[in-house]
Amino acid sequence: MKKNNQTLYYGLFALASLLTAMLGYVYTHKPFTAENLIGVLTAFWQTLIALFIIAVAGGIGEYFLKADNRHELERMGISLALGIPILSIATLLIGSTIGTGIFSLTFFLALTGFLCRKSIGKWVRHLARLKTIISGKYGTAIAVIAALIFVMHFVTALAPPTMFDTLVYHFTLPQAYLQTGKIQYVPDNMFWGMPQTTEMLYLLAMRFAGMESATLVSLFIGLTAMLGMAGYITNRFGKIAAWTGIAAILAGETLTAALSSGYIEWTVLLLGWAIFASFNYWLETRNRNDLILCGALCGAAIGTKYTAGIVLLGIMVALIFLPVLQTWKQRISNALLVGIFAVLFSLPWWIKNAVFTGNPFYPFFFPAGAMNEFRLFNYQHVPIWGNWSSVILLPWQATFWGVEAKDGFSASIGAILVGLSPLVWIGWKSRTEAQRNNIKTALLIVFVGFVVWAIGSRVSGLLIQSRLFFGIFPAWALLAGVGMDSIWYLRAANIRFGRVASALTLLMLGFNLFATWTGFIVRDPLAYVIRQEDDQGYLARNLGMYAVTMKTIQSLPADSRVLMLWETRGLACWPKCDADEVIDRWYDDVNTFQTPEKILASWQEKGYTHLLLNQAGVDFVRPREPRLTTEDWEKFETLLTRLGPPTILGSYALYPLQTSP
């Protein structure tokens, strides 16, 4: 006993000596500043809130999902896909009635978390199965690259948002609801009429931890989507196919960039995969609950992005043609069942629009709210890009000619999807019936998606963009994974085709890793996270004069209202500014009021005190907009001469809306 006490004293003395030395050293050398510590603690809080919201949504879905033999990661993804729309609709109801105040949302989220605490715990424990899907050099390499991509986007998400659509509406609308204290009609932003499933989660995150936490919500949705897909494909086709499917998605620069953008693409992708998985599970079990789940998820997809309804069309086609030993009456009955639940889960967003504007489909189809006939025509008749030759071989065209932020497809989707998916026919006879059904379903969804995509692109110039159809990408990724699995063991003339194909896949994924890394270095979000740079410095460095201009608008007198022309991004200055969110304000005003004098008078009557002109936007639009005539532009130049002298901010000019002497 005496020896043990002596040992204890020696040990305590040693620790005290070391600790004293460390404290003395840290006191004089200070490895971090108070600002560093505040930045890290803030990031921790923002991450914690985002994880809690995701866990609550996952727990809700887990509570309603019936017991089955799904792979745990697959179940984790489907539970989140089901829980997100339920939590979002509940937030919509709370925010529209009680309000978006801190007390109402705290009580709502805390109560929901408490009631679902057991299912939340069960949902989180599914992560333990992650170790079962990683094996072999190929899967490990993809897992490492994917982890590096996610880490860089995680740090980027902790910095202020800079991505285009986030500044236009994904964050602008939740911010408006928080500032007004209620979810209500926002006539200044046409995108208010779009479904807002993901934006409701953003609202919750922004209420408790700011915009960075909202961006993290999107990132964690993306991470769960990838894990769910990996579990599902592993369970049916093996780990090679699973990791190839993940690589096929993450090889695209646009989708990986969306991880830290605050966009809604990853929610669409999660739901697209969950719909596919639920339908195939129904094919295996013929359990009616799985078909109901499939329909509910289809409705949730529509309630996230209208064009995600393309997956519902694919499921309808699959319901008619895939089930064997069923009468036509049964097939039609099943299709109606899916359709009914799709309507029920998307209905809250139609009702919201109808209540506030009288048009459930606002801002489409007929004038309502702030969408008059001129704005409606302008938005629904965007000039068509290219011709039929641009989409006749759509998968290849979208792959080769799709470049992020460029005309046309406007997205980089990587080469793995189109390179491996045509190989699914190899080894077809050796596949099980369940595997064949999965492949058939994926082929039908992708085929229907491409047909609708091609036809839609000939109706409106907007509908050629690849990002509008990300709902079919999980099915396409599964085909790519199966393609790799089909050739994995092929060998001839001493060539191991699987090994060569895997090397090329890793090379393609490595290209995107490099692109992600270079973008990360240029943006340098870590400087903001550890508070080596403030938010204004970060925004100015990444957004240029736009950030400086927004700061100038914020410094205007409290009663100022700024009308924007050819500048769509209003997040940083709302409610002082009214952004030109779809570049149609001048087209609308010049057709409605006809003369510069009447246009100026209408602006002043609406309470605008300043005009912000984006000259770079004018220079871009003027040669490309056939609907604005030479006379229209002359009227614009005349109007500018009637205003007071502008404040020049790079390509921006801030005019006072007063008649010049």
Task: Select from 408, 524, 566, 450 the least CA-distant residue to 158.
Answer: 524
What is the reported pLDDT for 659?
A: 54
Cα 331 from Cα 336, distance rounded (Å): 9
What is the reported pLDDT for 661?
A: 47
Tokens (6 digits) for 42: 């803030």
What is the reported pLDDT for 59?
A: 95
Is residue 248 within 8 Å of 417, Cβ to Cβ? yes
Question: Which positions ≥6 away from 39 have C-beta within 8 Å?
Answer: 528, 529, 530, 531
Element holding 47 (H helix, E strand)? helix 34-64
Element holding 495 (H helix, E strand)? strand 495-496
User: Can you give the residue ranges of every domain in the chain?
Assistant: 2-31, 43-523, 544-656
Residue 564, phi then psi, degrees to nearest 5? -100, 140
Cα 150 from Cα 513, distance rounded (Å): 10
Cα 167 from Cα 424, distance rounded (Å): 41
Helix (H, G, I), strand (E, B) or coil at 415: coil
User: CA quadruple 290, 293, 299, 301: dihedral positive or negative?
Assistant: negative
CA distances from 133 to 136, 150, 227 (A): 10, 18, 9
Residue 62, phi then psi, degrees to nearest 5? -60, -35
Cα 341 from Cα 94, distance rounded (Å): 22
Question: Which positions ≥6 away from 109 have C-beta within 8 Å?
Answer: 52, 53, 56, 204, 208
Task: Average pLDDT across each block of 10 residues of the chain; the chain has 661 residues. List them in order.
Answer: 72 89 80 82 95 96 82 92 96 94 94 93 89 86 95 96 92 94 91 94 96 96 95 93 96 94 95 95 89 95 94 93 79 92 94 92 86 83 78 86 84 92 91 92 94 89 89 96 91 83 94 95 93 91 92 90 92 90 89 90 91 91 84 91 88 81 47
What is the reported pLDDT for 660?
A: 47
Helix (H, G, I), strand (E, B) or coil at 189: coil
Tokens (6 digits) for 516: 């992600």
Residue 158, phi then psi, degrees to nearest 5? -80, -5
What is the reported pLDDT for 325?
A: 62
Cα 466 from Cα 335, distance rounded (Å): 27
A 10 A CB-CB count for 201 gives: 26
What is the reported pTM?
A: 0.93
Is residue 457 within 8 Å of 463, Cβ to Cβ? yes
Cα 331 from Cα 323, distance rounded (Å): 8
Q: What is the DSSP secondary-structure string of 433-468?
A: HHHHHHHHHHHHHHHHHHHHHHHHHHH-GGGG-GGG
What is the reported pLDDT for 9?
A: 81
What is the reported pLDDT for 377?
A: 83
Is residue 179 within 8 Å of 188, Cβ to Cβ? no
A 10 A CB-CB count for 232 gives: 28
Please state whether beta strands 610-614 and 491-492 pair in parallel, antiparallel, or not at all (unpaired): unpaired
Cα 568 from Cα 467, distance rounded (Å): 19
